A = this chain, B = another copy of it.
Amino acid sequence: MRSKRGELTRKGEGGELALVNTIRRLANHSGSGRLRLGIGDDCALLGFKEGEEVAITTDLSISGRHFRPEWHPPEAVGHRAIARGLSDIAAMGAHPVAAFLSLGVPQLLTVARKGRDSWVDRFLSGLLALAEAHHTPLAGGDLAESPLAIADIVLLGAVPRNKALLRSGARPRDRIFVTGSLGGSAAGLALLAERGARASRAAMNSRDGDSSLTRHLWPQPRIAQGMWLVRRHAATAAIDLSDGLSTDLHHLCTESGVSATIDAAALPIHPQATLMQALHGGEDYELLFTAKATQNIPRSIAGVAVTQIGTITKKVSGAPSVTLISETGIARPLLPRGWQHFS
């Protein structure tokens, strides 16, 4: 019933002290010139460079809602939690500077069992591995006991002033692009639902492949691609594909005051995914961006394929905001059928 301090709380005794000391040691490991003061005070302190803006995002992961303990290995839960935040940073064209973790877990999940690390240790190892891959120190957070596991991840990034990629910059005749492939994560989730833990154990052994399970459990935020777009002034707008193409493109159109037409035949559908999964499945964490018709966009950026999937059009009152041209050439409204909250 009483409050906790702003930092990852150190404990007076036992396994929690060890846990937080582990976090502190690991967190101080990966360097960032902007981190002036990390875990251990009331706040962390960051210094940004002149001419930089600070991008901030928070993402909540709740057991049973964003992951299922019986399907998702703890390492993947940690990886996916921070991937969501990193992907938001990528969608602004920023580079990540520091992460913060507020973690609520049942006591039982902090205890090692049968010679295996505890759930929390494995969660942190997945989270910190992806943080380290992106040179992002864990700079603070909060820790509490909770009846169910919840993790709120905060990411701070830096981007040159007035250069961030916004959702609101798309204009008629801009071309629409996506990175990578679509629907893989939804196909992987369907596989998990079908085969459960057996499938996820298999995926633990194939982190680097491109199977749908790998796409679902170990998504790769497109940081380098977002930064490339900012450096080259190549994009007019961007959003990350977290809720599903139909929903996220709808958001981009709303914020830009435009409509869009998508060509089903052009979609880079993941080999194990269906068209429906590519259109409405979420959690691919690819970038969707728009570019002027005159802008040269290469076929790949920093090693990831880039595909034109459609065109921005003028908004017409009463007309659907997104239209899909089917493989047989029929135009139909594409309603936002991706992830809806409280649904």
A residues neighboring B (CB under 8 Å): 1-7, 9-12, 16, 36-37, 40-48, 50, 53-60, 62, 64-68, 80, 84-85, 88-89, 91-92, 94, 98, 100-104, 107, 110, 139-148, 150, 152, 154-157, 159, 161, 164, 166-168, 186, 189, 238-240, 242-244, 248, 251, 255, 281-283, 285, 336, 338-342
A143 to B66, CA, bound (A): 12
Contact indicator B47/A50 (Cβ below 8 Å):
no
A251 to B336, CA, bound (A): 51
Contact indicator A43/B94 (Cβ below 8 Å):
yes
Chain B residues with Cβ under 8 A from A36's Cβ?
A: 53
A240 to B7, CA, bound (A): 12
- CB of A51, distance to nearest CB on chain B (Å): 9
Number of copies: 2
A98 to B58, CA, bound (A): 13
Contact indicator A100/B62 (Cβ below 8 Å):
no
Chain B residues with Cβ under 8 A from A58's Cβ?
A: 6, 100-102, 140-142, 152, 154
A43 to B44, CA, bound (A): 20
Contact indicator B66/A144 (Cβ below 8 Å):
yes
- CB of A161, distance to nearest CB on chain B (Å): 7
Contact indicator A12/B340 (Cβ below 8 Å):
yes
Chain B residues with Cβ under 8 A from A53's Cβ?
A: 36, 45-47
Question: Which residue, of A147, A164, A283, A341, has the highest number of chain B Cβ atoms within 10 A?
Answer: A341
Q: Which 7 A-B pairs have the closest CB atoms?
A: A6-B57, A6-B88, A2-B282, A152-B152, A42-B91, A43-B55, A2-B339
Contact indicator B242/A41 (Cβ below 8 Å):
no
- CB of A83, distance to nearest CB on chain B (Å): 9
Question: Which residue, of A45, A104, A243, has the highest number of chain B Cβ atoms within 10 A?
Answer: A45
Among B6, B98, B339, contact of A85 (Cβ-Cβ < 8 Å): B6
A1 to B37, CA, bound (A): 35
